[in-house]
Structure 1
Amino acid sequence: MAGKVLCEASKLYNILNQYTHLPRLAESNYLCLIDARAAESYNFSHIITARNAKWDSDGKFIMPLDVDVESMRYIIVYDSSTHSLSDSGPAIDCADSIEKASQFPVQILSGGYEKFSALYPFLRTQKILYSIRELESLNPYPVEILPGKLYMGDYRQATNLQILKDLKMNALVNVSDECSLVFKKANCTVLHIRIADSSEADLIASFERMCVFISSHLNTSSSVLIFSALGVSRCSAVTMAYLMHHLKYTLKEAWNHIQKCKANMRPNRGFVQQLSDWELQTLGKRVTDISEPNY
């Protein structure tokens, strides 16, 4: 029995927005999101890709036939407002039934639909069925690094006016080679650092400037998006540098935090060395051994 754990709203947001070449929601064994509320509430509005729970005559949850519980990476259940594993209600009842067969802990959305939909109203829908093609064509949002404040993404997301509007974006750190007129239309302040995604590129020289820019906007309750061309190397290095500067994280702590938010992040080897040098500069010593395989 894998057990039950709580899932914060920001974690579900990031799970929904993972992608490699295509959104991970298109993978059959990636996420099973179950809405345990009454059918009337579900039909009115639910979280994107969620399916409504079905119950038998004895009030026991019926697992959908097309879901392989044992191989499913994420099984997340929610009702209206469950906040604790000690609560009672349909989300807990549903998770109790599923956890007996699940390889991974069944996650219960903390705060339920009420909290998630208030934070991310743009991820609500009335759509019930999705084809594989529709799932593949979804536009993932930038991942959330500091809830409601700091985001990390790619150039395509940064030039999507709807995404910038939905996330109430005020400032952008552009670590790509391109610049777009979209940023002016979105009324965003932009710091553009032109640097190649090369192990020889000198990114550390701009860390201080970028950290000051990010902090100045976060301190005024603005939201900031850090992005690079593909959202994998340059932006993740800059985001780690900010966490090390602002929260005094070690490189290892910053790395683990970003990896939880975006599974396929990967600064190039040159940037990893510069982050190690930045750790020495910000903390006064090297704490993280970058010779370990994880880096």
Structure 2
Amino acid sequence: MLLWELDAFQPYPVEIIPGRIFLGNFSQACNPKIQKDLKIKAHVNVSMETGSFFLDDPDKLLHIKIEDSLEASISPFLRHLCHFIGAHLVLGSVILIFSTRGISRSCAVIVAYLMHANEQTLRRSWAYVKKCKNNMRPNRGLVTQLLEWEKIVLGDSITDVSDLLY
């Protein structure tokens, strides 16, 4: 198996906040064994795909339908995403945040949440998520929106986009 194949092969979502927040892809979110093993109680779906998640309890699913494109706008949803994740953490829920491949939109959401929850820079949140998931690649449009989010969260733009290990 080549190194890049090994990198792409992740049978389980990666742990971002131990035992509380996981980052994954659509197929992992659809896998009942993974849901049970990780004790997933809530989903944040940041993709166009719709699954049969928590049909009996819509309070456990936040579905933000955005394309993985440079024009996709995630900014209008960031406050709501952070509130949903924070509320489920307070309830003790284990949350799976996912997108189609789990490398762009879902990573951007987790970076935004960490910036908000920890009142930290984009650079610091980015480095943390990158350490957990080394193949994360939010598209440039999402990165630009995360820079704007940093201004909202911290009151100023601190991170230089060239600092991000892209």
Query: Normalised by the size of structure 1, how large is the TM-score?
Result: 0.52
Amino acid at match of 2:27: R
| Alignment-mate amino acid for residue 281 of structure 1 | I
- Which residue is equivalent to 1:177? 48
Q: 1:233 — aligned with what?
A: 104
1:202 corresponding residue in structure 2: 73
**Any unmatched runs of 5+ in structure 2?**
none
Deviation at 1:189, TM superposition (A): 1.2
Over the matched positions of the two proteins, sequence identity in percent amounts to 47
Q: CA deviation at 1:185?
A: 7.4
- What's the counterpart of residue 22 of structure 1? 9
Which one has a bigger Cα radius of gyration? Answer: 1
**Cross-structure match for 1:157:** 28
Deviation, structure 1 residue 187? 8.8
Taking the aligned partners of 2:82 and 2:58, their CA distance within structure 1 comes to: 21
Preserved contact between residue 240 and residue 255 of structure 1 (Cα < 8 Å): yes
2:120 aligned with 1:256: no
Code of the residue aligned with 1:190 in structure 2: it is L
Q: 1:186 to 1:164 in 2, by over 3 A?
A: farther
The answer to whether 1:223 aligns with 2:74 is no
Q: Quick one: which of 233, 244, 267 aligns to 2:115?
A: 244
Give the corresponding residue for 1:214.
Answer: 85
Alignment: residue pair count? 162
CA contact (8 A) 1:159 1:180 kept: yes
After TM superposition, the runs of 4+ consecutive aligned structure 1 residues lying more than 6 A away are 185-188
Residue 146 of structure 2: which of 259, 263, 275 is its match? 275
* 1:191 alignment partner, one of 62, 77, 82: 62
CA distance in 2 between partners of 1:197 and 1:184 (Å): 25
Q: Pairwise CA RMSD of aligned residues?
A: 2.0
**Following the alignment from structure 2 to structure 1, what is the Cα–Cα distance between the partners of residues 120 and 21?**
16
- Specify the SS of the correspondent of 2:8: coil
Change (3 A) 1:282 1:22: same
Work out the CA distance in 2 between the residues paired with 1:179 and 1:291.
Answer: 35
Instruction: Report the alpha carbon displacement of residue 182 of structure 1 after superposing the two structures with TM.
Output: 4.4
SS in 2 for 1:179: coil
Question: Structure 1: how far apart are the matches of 2:147 and 2:79?
Answer: 15
After TM superposition, the score normalised by the length of structure 2 is 0.91
Q: Deviations over 1:58-91 (max 9, x none)?
A: xxxxxxxxxxxxxxxxxxxxxxxxxxxxxxxxxx
Partner residue in 2 for 1:43: none
> How far does residue 186 in structure 1 lie from its aligned partner after superposition?
9.5
Candidates 147, 152, 158, aligned match of 1:287: 158
Larger RCO: Structure 1 or Structure 2 (Cα < 8 Å, ≥ 6 residues apart)?
2
- Structure 1 stretches lacking a partner, 5+ long: 1-17, 24-139
Give the drift of 1:180: 1.3
Give the distance between the partners of 1:235 and 1:191, measured in 2 at CA: 12
Aligned equivalents of 2:58, 2:84: Cα separation in 1: 16
Write out per-residue CA displacement over residues 216-246 of structure 1, whole angstroms, 9 at most, x where no aligned residue.
0001111111100000000000000000001
